[in-house]
Structure 1
Amino acid sequence: MIPVISRRHLLSYRTLLFLFVVIILSGCSSTKTVPEGDALFAGYDIKVKNEEDSSNRELGTDLDGPVRPKPNASILGLKPKLWIYNAFYTEKEKGLKHWIQTKLGEPPVLLSEVDTSSINDIMRNQLLNKGYFNNSVESTTTIEKKKANIEWTTSVSEPYRIRKVEYTLNDSLPVHQAIRATSSESLLIPGEPYDLSTMTAERVRIDGELKEKGYYYFSPENLIFSVDTTAGNRQADVLLRVKRDAPSQALQPYTLDDIYIFANYFLGDSLSTSDTIDVRGYHYVPNEDYVKAKHLLRGVFLRQDSLYTRSDQLLTVNRLMGLPAYKFVNVQFEDDTASNNQLDAFIYLTPAMKKSLRAEARMVSKTNGFAGPGITASFRNRNTFRGSEQLNVELTGSFENQIGGNRTSGEDTNSETDTNNNGLTSYELGVQTTLTFPRIMSPFHLPNLRTEFVPKTRIGLGFNFLNRVQYFQMNSFNATYAYNWRPKKTLTFDVTPINLQYVQLANTTPEFDALLADRPYLQRSFENQFIIGSIYQATFSTQVYEDHTHQFYNSTTLDLSGNVVNALYSLFGSEAPQEDYPRTLLGQRYSQYTRIDNDFRYYLNIGEESQIATRFIAGVGFPYGNSSVMPYVKQFAIGGPNSIRAFRARSIGPGSYDFYANQTDNNLSYFDQTGDIKLEANIEYRFPIVGFFKGALFVDAGNVWLIKDTYTETGEVEKPGGKFEFNNFTKELAVGTGFGLRVDVEFFVLRFDFGIPVQVPYLPEGQRNVLNDFKFGFSGENSMTLNIAIGYPF
């Protein structure tokens, strides 16, 4: 009798065998290409003996820098890049093996490449710079089986501390008075340990303060520190002064005289200031044929007869660089020939290509799980009305199919219903026109914002045609008037005071009509209707600081519709709206609701390439007045490649509602599984594998709910279990986990995520945890879900 091994056991055996082989190969081959008489630099350790040090400073991190070269990259004790190098090693300088060896592999780091003597000296100097004037550094090398490990041992005692800081300055000179005025903000604090890097930063800080007071030619090199350590008891007196040979130009403040703006400058042009027009004290060269001066000067913060400041210079450069009409901006200063303490400013602006036409084929990947080929043709004019206004006209077309695997449930996945599960296809055609003004266009006079980012006014007009094959067609018209501004790097406001949208359902099929007839709630959400309101969004993000260990992102959106129109109806005495007799606009119902959602993210950067990314989304929509349900396009949904990846898009919710209990066409669930409330949480660990291949481990959880139950014509609850109950919602969370592979080539990320269901909310209580019944593969109940997408999920 031939023994039968289950698929699960077979998988376990294969996995263990694979891991065993990888470990054996990695261990045996790591020294394969190490020359005789040498050893692989396998690792190192730095020990700091600082029992007498009360500063509590972490020195190991600082001393790690001088160790060069670093050992080969390691993951869980394995060195995959070194293994690839050895496995595909060849002396040939071409061919596939050579390409894999050099591009994906990494040659062994040899002990002979590590100069311990020089590293010891650098470590001693770094300790001296930290105030440890009495220190020692030693290294010990251990070699075993051609693998070398080095241990550095450093001994330090109590560091020298700053006793006092003095400014040896001549008060008769204005620059000395200006330096002394900054002493209250000094980085050098009595009692703190001596640190050369802090003294260097102090020079930069003083230079920055002086640049804001007109000292254009001053530089940190004009300052010198003297340190006196003879006070005893490990104390140091710090003396600051200006170098005696500092140039006279650096010691006086400058004001601005003539300001020239070359608005149509190209490299190599012969410059002349004779053909100019004077506008509000500026010399505009040569004329206004390209960009009108009144619009350009909104981005110029240099003023004649004002004191030079670096902030005004940088603000001018950044604002002008933000204008679409220009691709290069350069600001230079020269001594005024008629005065020895004035500067002439020259602003050189190089135009960008005014008009462009672009066509591209692309792979469409949406948050709702649809993916497929698409094409986009766009026209762009970067200077439409000679005010750097940018006009974009974009034509799009796409053919899409919902991907991402099956809905995880207990039904027989070999049945006829499952064959429809991935058959939801659609095609989409659209045109969107956007005109962006690099300024705030308002009927009220508003001051020019002092921000390095150009404030914008955006006008949009568009049409979109969507055809969900075999179900319905939808026409959507939109018009918007919006403002966008960033008062600082981390904060962005986007306000759309006018947001108009008309949604029209057309050409429905009998199958879809039957679904709407059975579900009055869904039918009302699909009605032809106007969305007339405003959208307000505030976004805070510290991701602009790429070197930060902790990064935060938070975006809050408030979406309002129908309130102003409804107020006008009430003001003129119109009858109150009723469910069967709503108020209309041009013969069509208009929506009235308030929708608010918040997207919070936290990123913990571990090392250079690893990261823990977390996200929490909460949203709620309230229909009222002229609406009893939220418009379909404004309802919340969950699942899919950018959401809970163990479940197909819109295949769960609301709550514990089970759509499949009464339906045979699984695709119809896509339209019916939406809600008024959404909660979602994600955590993902991202790590490098080799080259541009990245990996991820993730856990997702969430669901959508209804604010209130809705009923059929017979009085039955339309979606049992769909209403949000505070005491019960945690039991109705869909939970999934999984792993991912990403191909990250900087400008493009192709993502493959394999979702594994953990908790299925629409199953009966007590049966929702399905992890123990997980089946490896993509078919059958409780199997994996494959998500293919472009870009990271969050």
Structure 2
Amino acid sequence: MLKTQPWVKLSGIRTCTVLVILLLLSGCNVTKTVPDNDALFTGYSVSVNDEKDSSNRKAALETELTATVRPKPNASILGWRPKLGIYNAFYTEKEKGLKHFIMTKLGEPPVLLSEVDTGSISGVMSSRLHNRGYFNNHISSEVKSENKKASINWTAWVGEPYRLRNIKYMLDDSLQAQQAIEQTKAESLLKPGDPYDLSVMTQERVRIDANLKNKGYYYFSPDLMIYSVDTTVGNRQADVLLRIKRAASAQALKPYTLDDIYIFANYSLGDSLSTSDTLDFKGYHYIPNEDYVRARHLLDGVFLEKDSIYTRENHLLTIKRLSGLSAYKFVNIDYATDTVNTDKLDAFIYLTPSLKKSLRAEAQMVSKSNNFTGPGLTVSFRNRNTFRGSELLNVEFTGSFETLVGGTGTGTAPEGVEDNSSGNLTSYELGVQATLAIPRIVSPFNLRNLRTEFVPQTRIGLGFDFLSRVNFYQLNSYNASYGYSWRPKQTLTFDATPINLQYVRLSNTSEVFDTLLKENPYLQRSFESQFIIGSIYQLTYSTQMFEERTSQVFDKVTLDLSGNLVSAFQSLAGAHTPTEDDPRTLFGDPYAQYVLLDNDFRHYLNFGKESQLVARLATGVGYSYGNSTTLPYVKQFSIGGPNSIRAFRARSVGPGTYDVPDELAFSFFDQVGDIRLEANLEYRFPIFGFFKGAAFVDAGNIWLLRDTFDENGIVDKPGAKFEFNNALSELAVGTGLGLRIDVDFFVIRLDVGVPVRVPYLPKGERFVLNDFNGSFSGENSMVLNIAIGYPF
């Protein structure tokens, strides 16, 4: 039976009525405000006739020409024009009032045919084709108008493009830049036989400039080079000559080395540039002193060296590394020709400090994946230069009071515990976490400075958390960690935490919860007080920073180890062999021993600027051994909820086909597992303004690696063990629609999930879509998820 809790009731008739109103509002009478003798510009098309063109660039050309059309028609979704519908519905000639506000802020006036200058647009298209080598092209446009609605079709006729025949570089042999440019000819973007393309020729100038900039030519620029193109050689061919302008100065055509390097370590706008108060450190002029950041820590981010060739690469690397220091908010580097040696440059590095200390209080509404929600308060203190080495100290105090929203089951609560539907299943949490981020690798070994634009970090953490689940238990958690984080390149991040210590202690348990633990040995072992002593290693690969890419990838692999080192030392010391009833202990409490591997893979396929198809595959497996027979509760996998399978409530699925008895369904404390398999597919699209929509399909489940047994030797959770041949048939599947209010700095998300397959039902009865009741209550009903941020 699908377990849901009555929460929100919305009849099917009311839902349909709302949808019909929205449809009428966005789609009816779209020409209401279109003036007479004009038409609504509803759409356009651009096609390229390339029958005589062998370059196979039709798709790229059509995309480029399509982008030249201005203005664009009113935004539409499946033929609806919601913003235009709002404009028409609230149209008023008044310049103030509620209707005017809605009309102008949420609506959009009609885009008229008279606003489209077809002649000008055709001229721009022709110019674009000319830049691609089609010197003899023709553009035509056709307007189709009916019932005050109009569309325009553009057609471009192209022939064979002009192609490059000879590419030459005419330079003065006496110039020092001659050899530098000649050495890079093999890397030229201009190839004989390629179509003439002005954008590629522009890129070639930029490539040469970048190469020279890394060889000391500080004053050189792409504008100093000019092309001469001869298209009279016949057979649609062109000879290209690239030369340096005669007006180029001698200063721009010679390389420079660095001389004096000045570092203004506490600079603010308006400061004098006097270098009289200077501390010389390892060949650098450090101004004024070390009262703010010590020079030895700052120089890890400076890659400019005295007597070295000036390179743009070292310039940018220095800016990016210094910008990554928490002690500074602005970094700038200027150069000037040395007054004595005119072949050298003096470098001036200006560092503007950030606000050193800050105190911040933030009230928030906490919404967790287990459906607990409520008010929270976070107070944080930051010191961005704790020990005069740009160390960032963050101390965060948190407190929250949470109530279960909507419930997670329909079981009957045991005596003494109020039912979920009463809304009194509450918890509160208090915690403090201190983190020190040191912008360098602190290690007993002498490691070389990493040549990367991202600042390597050493992270030290210490914290305590107190959780009270009213009427059940209290949980005290202590943690300490020591780790490193570094990014060898933009797409790759390594996080290594060789020391990860946690101590979890259960206390003040209620009789009801004690009964649950007694009847469920697996749950009891998961909740027992224990140490987690181990290491965590993460590798993250992401291309999401390349926003212009159609395809983006994110993949995070996590390896979590615990107990192995302690176990090895105790074995060497002759400790007894651990058993389920007599594990080894540390300071009187057992310690966890396990290995856990988790992978979160996502693929983002972008359609235009706002539409996106996202696929996600999350897999994980944890194996306990040696001193443990189960994973700690905080390390086990769960499934369901707003960031998982949204048609099922948090922790309400699995493990496997296990069906929670009604007398236990009030809590779902034990619906966790050792294996996780989850897949999500979501299509995101714009609606209008900051309103976004989504359609999604989710599937997944969790399983146990081993069967667990009660005190009578009976399998505690039938169907919970992972069986490879049955895994796919045991996946929970849900689908649904979502609405997101995306205002850049935060996202409010509402997702309505509909169950499709319920794994804990008998075989042959698991597909429940045909029994969908269209409401938010009862069996086979919808589930409303309210959350902050996107699910993945």
TM-score normalised by the chain length of structure 2: 0.96
User: CA-to-partner distance for each residue in 1:716-759, whole Å, 9 max, x for gaps?
Assistant: 00110000000111111111111111111000101111111111
Corresponding residue of 1:587? 588
How far is the alpha carbon of 1:579 from its aligned partner?
Answer: 1.5
How far is the alpha carbon of 1:664 from its aligned partner?
Answer: 1.6
Are 1:73 and 2:72 an aligned pair? no
How far is the alpha carbon of 1:624 from its aligned partner?
Answer: 0.6
Corresponding residue of 1:138? 140
SS at match of 2:200: helix
Among 269, 284, 289, the residue aligned to 2:271: 269
Instruction: Call closer, same or farther: CA 1:421–1:713 in 2, change over 3 Å.
Output: farther
Rounded Cα–Cα distance in structure 2 between residues aligned with 1:398 and 1:11: 34
How far is the alpha carbon of 1:40 from its aligned partner?
Answer: 1.4
User: CA-to-partner distance for each residue in 1:482-520, whole Å, 9 max, x for gaps?
Assistant: 101111111111110000000000011111111110111
Rounded Cα–Cα distance in structure 1 between residues aligned with 2:495 and 2:18: 52
Instruction: Call closer, same or farther: CA 1:752–1:40 in 2, change over 3 Å.
Output: same
Corresponding residue of 2:770? 772
Rounded Cα–Cα distance in structure 2 between residues aligned with 1:602 and 1:408: 37
Among 696, 708, 726, the residue aligned to 2:694: 696
1:684-763 alignment to 2 at 5 Å?
684-763=682-761
How far is the alpha carbon of 1:16 from its aligned partner?
Answer: 6.7
Corresponding residue of 2:4? none
How far is the alpha carbon of 1:26 from its aligned partner?
Answer: 4.9
SS at match of 1:668: coil
The answer on whether the counterparts of 2:563 and 2:592 sit within 8 Å (CA) in structure 1 is yes
Among 379, 382, 386, the residue aligned to 2:381: 379
Gaps of 5+ in 1: 1-9
1:185-224 alignment to 2 at 5 Å?
185-224=187-226
1:37-52 alignment to 2 at 5 Å?
37-52=37-52
Instruction: Call closer, same or farther: CA 1:418–1:772 in 2, change over 3 Å.
Output: farther
Rounded Cα–Cα distance in structure 2 between residues aligned with 1:665 and 1:718: 13
Among 364, 383, 403, the residue aligned to 1:401: 403
Corresponding residue of 2:564? 563
Are 1:61 and 2:63 an aligned pair? yes
Among 112, 115, 118, the residue aligned to 2:117: 115
1:117-516 alignment to 2 at 5 Å?
117-403=119-405, 406-407=408-409, 419-420=420-421, 423-516=424-517
How far is the alpha carbon of 1:184 from its aligned partner?
Answer: 1.1
Letter in 2 for 1:734: A
Gaps of 5+ in 2: 1-9
The answer on whether the counterparts of 1:226 and 1:238 sit within 8 Å (CA) in structure 2 is yes
Letter in 1 for 2:49: K
Corresponding residue of 1:664? 663
How far is the alpha carbon of 1:580 from its aligned partner?
Answer: 1.5
The answer on whether the counterparts of 1:408 and 1:782 sit within 8 Å (CA) in structure 2 is no
Rounded Cα–Cα distance in structure 2 between residues aligned with 1:329 and 1:543: 25
Rounded Cα–Cα distance in structure 1 between residues aligned with 2:627 and 2:588: 14
Instruction: Call closer, same or farther: CA 1:30–1:682 in 2, change over 3 Å.
Output: same
SS at match of 1:617: strand
The answer on whether the counterparts of 2:775 and 2:781 sit within 8 Å (CA) in structure 1 is yes
How far is the alpha carbon of 1:29 from its aligned partner?
Answer: 2.0
Rounded Cα–Cα distance in structure 1 between residues aligned with 2:468 and 2:420: 21
Corresponding residue of 2:678? 680
- Bigger shift: 421-430 or 111-120? 421-430
How far is the alpha carbon of 1:142 from its aligned partner?
Answer: 2.1
The answer on whether the counterparts of 1:405 and 1:778 sit within 8 Å (CA) in structure 2 is no
Letter in 1 for 2:177: V
Rounded Cα–Cα distance in structure 2 between residues aligned with 1:419 and 1:503: 27
Rounded Cα–Cα distance in structure 2 between residues aligned with 1:131 and 1:776: 59
User: CA-to-partner distance for each residue in 1:82-125, whole Å, 9 max, x for gaps?
Assistant: 11111111111221111111111111111121111111111111
User: CA-to-partner distance for each residue in 1:166-200, whole Å, 9 max, x for gaps?
Assistant: 22223332201111111111111222111101111
Rounded Cα–Cα distance in structure 2 between residues aligned with 1:23 and 1:754: 20
How far is the alpha carbon of 1:271 from its aligned partner?
Answer: 2.1
SS at match of 1:359: strand
SS at match of 1:667: coil
1:779-794 alignment to 2 at 5 Å?
779-794=777-792
Q: CA RMSD in A?
A: 1.8
How far is the alpha carbon of 1:262 from its aligned partner?
Answer: 0.5
- Bigger shift: 276-285 or 774-783? 774-783
The answer on whether the counterparts of 1:537 and 1:557 sit within 8 Å (CA) in structure 2 is yes
Rounded Cα–Cα distance in structure 1 between residues aligned with 2:409 and 2:222: 64
TM-score normalised by the chain length of structure 1: 0.96
Rounded Cα–Cα distance in structure 1 between residues aligned with 2:225 and 2:696: 52
User: CA-to-partner distance for each residue in 1:207-244, whole Å, 9 max, x for gaps?
Assistant: 11111111111111111112122222111122111111
Instruction: Call closer, same or farther: CA 1:696–1:187 in 2, change over 3 Å.
Output: same
SS at match of 2:598: strand
Rounded Cα–Cα distance in structure 1 between residues aligned with 2:86 and 2:755: 34
Indicate the percent of aligned positions where both proteins have the same amino acid: 67
The answer on whether the counterparts of 1:757 and 1:784 sit within 8 Å (CA) in structure 2 is yes
Instruction: Call closer, same or farther: CA 1:21–1:343 in 2, change over 3 Å.
Output: same
1:602-681 alignment to 2 at 5 Å?
602-660=603-661, 663-669=662-668, 671-681=669-679
How far is the alpha carbon of 1:21 from its aligned partner?
Answer: 6.1
Letter in 2 for 1:171: D
Rounded Cα–Cα distance in structure 2 between residues aligned with 1:592 and 1:455: 30
How far is the alpha carbon of 1:23 from its aligned partner?
Answer: 5.5
The answer on whether the counterparts of 2:12 and 2:775 sit within 8 Å (CA) in structure 1 is no
Instruction: Call closer, same or farther: CA 1:566–1:80 in 2, change over 3 Å.
Output: same
Rounded Cα–Cα distance in structure 2 between residues aligned with 1:408 and 1:161: 74
SS at match of 1:29: coil
In the alignment of these two chains, the number of paired residues is 778
SS at match of 2:477: strand
The answer on whether the counterparts of 1:131 and 1:161 sit within 8 Å (CA) in structure 2 is yes
How far is the alpha carbon of 1:349 from its aligned partner?
Answer: 0.7
How far is the alpha carbon of 1:77 from its aligned partner?
Answer: 0.7
User: CA-to-partner distance for each residue in 1:115-170, whole Å, 9 max, x for gaps?
Assistant: 11111111111010010111101112222111121111111111111122222223
The answer on whether the counterparts of 2:704 and 2:721 sit within 8 Å (CA) in structure 1 is yes
Instruction: Call closer, same or farther: CA 1:421–1:547 in 2, change over 3 Å.
Output: farther
Letter in 2 for 1:452: E
The answer on whether the counterparts of 2:407 and 2:421 sit within 8 Å (CA) in structure 1 is no
Rounded Cα–Cα distance in structure 1 between residues aligned with 2:597 and 2:255: 52
SS at match of 2:126: helix
The answer on whether the counterparts of 1:53 and 1:158 sit within 8 Å (CA) in structure 2 is yes
- Bigger shift: 742-751 or 570-579? 570-579
Rounded Cα–Cα distance in structure 2 between residues aligned with 1:720 and 1:422: 31
SS at match of 2:725: coil
Rounded Cα–Cα distance in structure 2 between residues aligned with 1:25 and 1:381: 53
Rounded Cα–Cα distance in structure 2 between residues aligned with 1:713 and 1:68: 75
The answer on whether the counterparts of 1:404 and 1:786 sit within 8 Å (CA) in structure 2 is no
Instruction: Call closer, same or farther: CA 1:263–1:507 in 2, change over 3 Å.
Output: same
Corresponding residue of 2:7? none
How far is the alpha carbon of 1:19 from its aligned partner?
Answer: 6.1
